[in-house]
């Protein structure tokens, strides 16, 4: 799986993870949030983008994204659940690496592309339960800025 850093270009998951650790090491006494969010855009195929954001609270941050394409899906519900699956998959890998590298104090948040308005409002309860049941904190719109970062790269 390849990730793209807007400043550093293409990198592997391992290189991205190391870059996140290096970023944290620059100011180890600061507070950080590690966020994963996905979004999609439907055309001939569906473009799925998952973003990983390391937010240096109060001071900006960095992000990375990966993009994949799949055939059309029959419903918006299936597409939104697939977005959540992509985020959950990457968040799980990040959490495992954080644990392995002694950074258990950095929790991973998953930002879902659902909100109380629009078509996705009926899916909130199920999606949040899936994410929280997997051990992660879930955020929805308007607090799901990780999904908005991904949206930027679906176009």
CATH code of the domain in which 40 resides = 3.30.420
What are the structure tokens assigned to 39, written together? Answer: 């979004």
Evaluated on CA atoms 12, 13, 14, 15, the torsion sign reads: positive
Alpha helices in the chain (DSSP H): 13-26, 76-100, 124-133, 145-151
Q: Reduced to 3 states, what is the DSSP secondary structure of residue 23?
A: helix
Query: What is the residue range of 119's domain?
Result: 2-151
Q: Tell me, what DSSP letter sits at residue 1?
A: -
pTM for the complete prediction? 0.95
Predicted pLDDT of residue 6 = 96
The CA distance from 108 to 105, in Å, is 10
Per-residue pLDDT of 25-50, as tens digits, reads: 999 999 999 999 999 999 889 999 99
Q: Which two tokens stand for residue 82?
A: 């697939």
pLDDT at 126: 96
Domain count, the chain: 1
The pLDDT tens digits of the residues spanning 85-124 come to: 999 999 999 999 999 998 888 989 999 999 999 899 999 9
| Phi, psi for 146 (deg, rounded to 5) | -65, -35
């Amino acid at each position: 799986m390849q990730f793209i850093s807007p400043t550093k270009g293409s990198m592997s998951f391992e290189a991205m993870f190391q870059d996140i650790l290096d970023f944290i090491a620059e100011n180890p006494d600061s507070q950080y949030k590690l966020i994963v969010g996905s979004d999609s855009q439907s055309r001939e195929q569906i473009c799925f983008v998952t973003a990983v954001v390391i937010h240096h609270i109060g001071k900006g941050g960095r992000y990375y994204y990966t993009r994949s394409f799949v055939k059309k899906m029959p419903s918006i519900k299936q597409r939104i659940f697939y977005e959540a699956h992509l985020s959950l998959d990457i968040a799980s890998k990040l959490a495992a690496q954080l644990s392995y590298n002694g950074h258990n104090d950095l929790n991973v948040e998953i930002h879902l592309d659902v909100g109380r308005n629009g078509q996705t409002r009926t899916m909130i309860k199920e999606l949040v339960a899936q994410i929280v049941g997997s051990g992660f904190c879930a955020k929805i719109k308007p607090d799901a800025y990780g999904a908005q970062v991904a949206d930027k790269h679906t176009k």
